[in-house]
Structures are given as C-alpha cells and as structure tokens.
A and B are shown apart, each in its own frame.
Chain A
Amino acid sequence: MTTTISKADERTYPPGLTTTQEVAHSRRDRASFRHGSLTSQLDETTPSPGAAFLSGAKSIIPVLLALLPFGLAFGATATGNGLSAVEALGMSVFVFAGAAQLAAVPLLSAGASVAIVLLTVLVINLRLTLYSASLAPHFKRLPAAWKGLLAYLLTDQAYAATITRFDEGETAEQDKRWYYLGVAVAIWLTWQVATMTGVAVGSWASEGWSLDFVLPLIFIAAVVPAIKDRTTGAASLSAGLAALFCASLPLNLGLISAALVGVIGGLAAEVIFGRSGR
C-alpha cells in the first residue's frame, strides 16, 4: 500500500511565469529543495492515489458546507428567472462557475444577446487564468488529458484549498493530481446536487422569503476579502460608483462597463500610490 519513492528531483519549478506577483510565491521555496535528503524521505510516507484523493476530499468538507447555499441559490434563482431544470443543471455542468452562472441568469432571463452573456462570463471568469498560471507549475508534467480534467474542475475553492499546500511542498509531486482531484470532484458533486436541490425548492423558496437576496450576499462575501489594500479598494470603489450610473445602460452592458471602470481605477491607484501602496 505504501511505497516510498524518491521525489526530491521532481520538485523543480519552471523558469517561466515570473511576471506575476501572484505566482511569485511559488518560487519562494526554491532554496528548500530536498536533494535526496534521506531523512526527509523517511519522515514522509507516500500515500496511494486513493488515499491522496480521500485526503483532498476530506479537507474540503467545511468549504462544501459554505458552497451548498450558493448552489441552492443558483438553482432557485435560475428557476425563479424562468429557466428549466435541465437548463439550470446544464449551466452547472458546462460552465461550473458559480459567480458567472449567477450573473448570467438575469441576463438570460432579460433576453440579453448571447454576445453580452458571453462577454459577462468572460470578464467574471478572467480571474481563473490567474489560478491557472499559479497551478500550472504543479501540473506541468501531466498528460494532456489530466491537464484538461484538472482545468475543467478549477474553481476558486479548489485553487484556494490546494495552492498553499502545493507551494509549501506538503504534497508529494505524484500525489498532487489525486489530492487536487479529491478536492475538485467533491466540489463538483456538491455543486451539481445543490443546483438540483435549489431547482426543486426554487418555487417554494422564491415565495415570500426573499431568497434571491442570497445572490448579493454571496458576492459581498467574495468582494470583502478581495479588497486587500488601497489599490484593490480603489478598484472596488470606482466599480461601485460606475455601477450606480451604468446599471441602466442598454443591452445589459452595465456590469461589464462598471467592472472595466473598476479595473482602470485600480491601475490608476497603483500609479498614484505606487506599488508600495498595496
């Protein structure tokens, strides 16, 4: 069951991806390579793929509890806006990105053009490229099919639950894929079950309980930790002010316009305060 394999030489990081601060921390422990140090290998046992998978799935359970109301809200919002059960579940399977799904529902329901829906989804999910860049060094040796599978399952929660562990070298190289898969599959299943449950209780929930208010609450819970310093604060403030004026723009362009103003506001603040102002 337990095999000890030398993994010291596999923990190398590539020379690319050095331009973002976000991935810079992945180079932090370059100095701490264990080049065949016998003691460190004896200290760590290498779990089997199944054990790594289970360990990942177990670690994510608290996050799943927080994800449930989010998925319920999406299912209920979708049916409340006239989407069918199959359409709601289709979104959860194909898109599998809560914030984008929730933002798309009112657009779909208001009859916005497909282009506007896609543009909105693109803007909201742009952050996934950051996660992709940050996780890429850990998955670089995997076959293309694995990369595709792990990429499809990439979410805020899966990223947050794995990156620190990976960067600090707490997961053996050959176990990363299984640990990540355990985390991500648990999230995927929870999201689908929560969506279906939300669709089922949607008609009940939308009557009188104002459960559609869960949508802004979820985004509030997301935006507060995203404001880390003066520059991200400026991005939020300028996006918020712009949103007040942009909300009634034609073609449902308000969200994208306000988000763009926010990004520009953040860049402007970075120029004013300097990078030290972060």
Chain B
Amino acid sequence: MNTFALWLAVAGAGAITFALRLSFIALLGRIEIPVLLSRMLRFVPAAVFTAVVVPLLFYVDGAVEVSLGNERLLAGLAAVLIAWRTRSVPLTLVGGMGVLWMLQILGTSGI
C-alpha cells in the first residue's frame, strides 16, 4: 500500500471512529436507536472478536491446521481457558505467551 493510500485509510478510519463515538452523545434527544440496530449491536463484540481470533489460531501457512503440531491453536485454547477462569487481561497475555513458548521449546527439542 502506498503512503497516500495508507494515510487516506488512517484519516478515514479516524473520521469514522470519531463519528461513531460522537453519535449519540451529540444526537441525544433528537433520535433513538432503531430497535433492530440495537439488537444487532449487542452481538457485534462477540462476533467481531471471534472473527479476528479464529483465522490467527487455525490457519498455518494459508491452510486450516487442526493438530497437536499447531502450537498457536493449543496456546490460544489455553488462553481461552485462562480468560474464562480469571477474566484477567494480563494473566491471559502472560499465560498464552508462556504456553506458546513452552510448546515451541518442546517442539524444537523434539520431545
């Protein structure tokens, strides 16, 4: 991506994000959230975050790989468990990285 297109994307992303943030703070009293939109918005975090994570865990070199050799998938599942039990972002980060490093060490040492 060339520099111009990149800055165009950054400026556009900034403008869109600001508009979303300002929306109801600016419009309060003038409009109401449409019911269907508010019902859809409720599912956006769970849907988007999952859609970001899944390819990063399951895809290895452009193909889905579900095996014990997929260290990122295993470490990711461990992180899900940690996040679920502790609800702590730092513990999830530290635990997930720790499991990944452990698996990589085990993998290279051939155990």
Contact B72 A213 (CB under 8 A): yes
Min distance, Cβ B20 to any Cβ of chain A, angstroms: 4
- Which residues between 20 and 69 of chain B lie within 8 Å of chain A, taking CB atoms? 20-35, 38-59, 62, 64
A189 within 8 A of B: no
How far apart are the CA atoms of A102 and B35 in the complex, in Å? 30
With both beta carbons as reference points, the residue of chain B lying nearest to A215 in the complex is identified as B56
Contact A151 B26 (CB under 8 A): yes
Contact A210 B100 (CB under 8 A): yes
- Known contacts A100-B17, A127-B41; is A94 also within 8 Å of B10 by CB? yes
- Known contacts A94-B11, A100-B17, A218-B93; is A213 also within 8 Å of B43 by CB? no
Min distance, Cβ A71 to any Cβ of chain B, angstroms: 12
How far apart are the CA atoms of A148 and B22 in the complex, in Å? 7
Contact B46 A227 (CB under 8 A): yes
Contact A16 B49 (CB under 8 A): no
Min distance, Cβ A121 to any Cβ of chain B, angstroms: 4
With both beta carbons as reference points, the residue of chain B lying nearest to A119 in the complex is identified as B16
How far apart are the CA atoms of A217 and B104 in the complex, in Å? 17
A236 within 8 A of B: yes
- Which residues between 16 and 75 of chain A lie within 8 Å of chain B, taking CB atoms? 16-22, 65-66, 69-70
How far apart are the CA atoms of A233 and B72 in the complex, in Å? 22
Contacts of A96 in B (CB 8 A): 14, 17
Contact A136 B39 (CB under 8 A): no
Min distance, Cβ B69 to any Cβ of chain A, angstroms: 15
Residues of A within 8 Å of B, CB-based: how many?
A: 101
With both beta carbons as reference points, the residue of chain A lying nearest to B37 in the complex is identified as A129
How far apart are the CA atoms of A255 and B24 in the complex, in Å? 26
Contact A69 B93 (CB under 8 A): yes
Contacts of A122 in B (CB 8 A): 16, 20
Min distance, Cβ A64 to any Cβ of chain B, angstroms: 11
How far apart are the CA atoms of A17 and B23 in the complex, in Å? 12
- Known contacts A95-B14, A242-B51, A258-B54; is A147 also within 8 Å of B29 by CB? no
B106 within 8 A of A: no
Contact B54 A240 (CB under 8 A): yes
Contacts of B49 in A (CB 8 A): 99, 219-220, 222-223, 226, 236
Contacts of A243 in B (CB 8 A): 50-51, 54-55
Contact B13 A121 (CB under 8 A): yes
Contacts of B75 in A (CB 8 A): 213
A193 within 8 A of B: no
Contact of B47 among A135, A136, A247, A266 (CB under 8 A): A266
Beyond A21-B38, A125-B20, A132-B22, 20 extra complex contacts between A and B, CB < 8 Å:
A16-B28, A20-B33, A22-B38, A69-B93, A87-B6, A108-B6, A123-B48, A125-B17, A127-B41, A129-B20, A129-B33, A139-B25, A210-B97, A214-B97, A220-B49, A239-B50, A244-B55, A247-B58, A254-B51, A262-B50
Enumerate chain A interface residues (CB-CB to B < 8 A): 14, 16-22, 65-66, 69-70, 83, 87, 90-91, 94-97, 99-100, 103-104, 108-109, 111-112, 114, 117-118, 121-133, 135-137, 139-140, 144, 147-148, 150-152, 154, 209-211, 213-227, 231-233, 235-240, 242-244, 246-248, 254-255, 258-263, 265-267, 270
